[in-house]
Amino acid sequence: MDNIQVSVENLVVEYKTEHGNVQAVNGVNIQVKKGKTLGIVGETGAGKTTTALAVLRLIPNPPGIVKSGKIIVDGEDISGKSEFEMNKIRGGIVSMIFQDPMTSLNPVLTVGDQIAESIGIHQGLSRKEAMKKAEEMLEMVGIPGYRSGEYPHQFSGGMKQRVGIAIALSCNPQLLIADEPTTALDVTIQAQVLQLMKSLRDQYGTSMIMITHDLGIVAEVCDDVAIMYGGRIIEQGTLEDIFKKTKHPYTEGLFNSLPNLANRTEKLKPIRGLMPDPARLPSGCVFHPRCLYAQEICQSRVPQRTDFSDTHMVCCLAYEEGTNIEVKGGGRIV
Ligand code: SF4
């Protein structure tokens, strides 16, 4: 366990809605190794962002409530910490990069002030020292330090996201959570930002959770992968486990819905149907209405985890005793 930076155990998060309580995250277990990147992959509504916000204890209450679960950071359970202690942890030990750099920065503060504010809070430096460090952080993410006196609207989308990365990394966090950090950026800028995050992670040995729906990004930056569906982790493994030994029909569907570069005439095969409404999750296996291999038993029996190795697990009845379901699996390189 020495190499585990963050461990989330049996996390259950509910939201109160007018239709009753909705389970957005249901029994999630994940581990992030020191200096490694865990990709949490799934469609919108799978529970990825809720899981990340729970790690930072940022679930808005009401309407959200963490029903159970432990969050262990570097061997210490932070689930019961006071809000005062959590404010020191957020931005200090655990940092987050948000999806939209346009809205995550404060428009009325200079970027230098915003980076310095985070440094001042967590490192107790004087304003002058914090501003000097802020300029160094800007240089580190490829923005000239003299631009620290400019406001967010004076920067392009890609540069704003670099500022977001500078803020997130300014206090040398042990864990960086990146929530779809390149979705709002042009494709060419996406590659630059990903490259920057990778090199900074390697330079500082920061552990990372990368939340994404893009398997190309996973292939590029992740060491381990957790596939989420309907608030649960339905397959988890190393990059190689997930890409070369795919087991779950949903993971298989995600790969099949990507263009096949080796066979450009092959038609895309999107997964039929939509992610279910968390207020009306299907019975049995939550994926059964969309699964190509579903049998009657899938409508009533909830799949349990099946372990294939120390690193690779899946929740699908096809791998459980007493069922007679054949799935293809396989995997491929993107
Ligand atoms: Fe498909 Fe059944 Fe496996 Fe669910 S349990 S993924 S419905 S085969």
- The C-alpha atoms of residue 237 and residue 239 are separated, in whole angstroms, by 6
138 phi, psi to nearest 5 deg: -60, -45
Q: Is 130 in the pocket of ligand 1 (CB under 6 A)?
A: no
Element housing 161 (H / E): helix 157-169
Residue from 233, 235, 285 whose mutation best tests the ligand 1 pocket (most atoms within 8 A of CB): 285
Write out pLDDT tens, residues 69-110.
999 998 999 988 999 999 888 888 999 998 887 788 999 999
Would residue 156 count as lying in a domain?
yes
Write out pLDDT tens, residues 18-34.
888 899 999 999 999 99
Element housing 236 (H / E): strand 232-238
Q: Is 227 in the pocket of ligand 1 (CB under 6 A)?
A: no
Would residue 16 count as lying in a domain?
no
Bridge partner residues of 306 (DSSP): 314
The whole-number pLDDT of residue 185 equals: 79
Would residue 137 count as lying in a domain?
yes
Confidence of residue 334 (pLDDT cuts 50, 70, 90): very low
Task: Specify the pTM.
Answer: 0.92
Last residue of a domain, one of 119, 142, 164: 164
Residue of 213 and 1 predicted with greater confidence: 213
Weakest mean pLDDT among 5-14, 126-135, 185-194: 185-194
SS3 200: helix
Confidence of residue 332 (pLDDT cuts 50, 70, 90): low
329 phi, psi to nearest 5 deg: 65, -145
> What is the tally of structural domains in the chain?
2
Residue 288 is part of which domain span? 245-319
Would residue 297 count as lying in a domain?
yes
Would residue 238 count as lying in a domain?
no
Last residue of a domain, one of 116, 133, 164: 164
Instruction: Give Cα 63 distance to the centre of its chain.
Output: 22
Would residue 118 count as lying in a domain?
yes
Residue from 247, 286, 288, 314 whose mutation best tests the ligand 1 pocket (most atoms within 8 A of CB): 288
Q: How many CA atoms lie within 13 A of 244 on its CB side?
A: 5
Last residue of a domain, one of 113, 129, 164: 164
Residue 203 near residue 73, CB atoms below 8 Å: no
Q: Is 38 in the pocket of ligand 1 (CB under 6 A)?
A: no
Tokens coding 2: 């020495």
Instruction: Give Cα 32 distance to the centre of its chain.
Output: 11
Would residue 193 count as lying in a domain?
no
Question: Mean pLDDT across the stretch 179-191?
Answer: 85
Would residue 171 count as lying in a domain?
no
C-alpha 312 to ligand 1 mean position (Å): 17
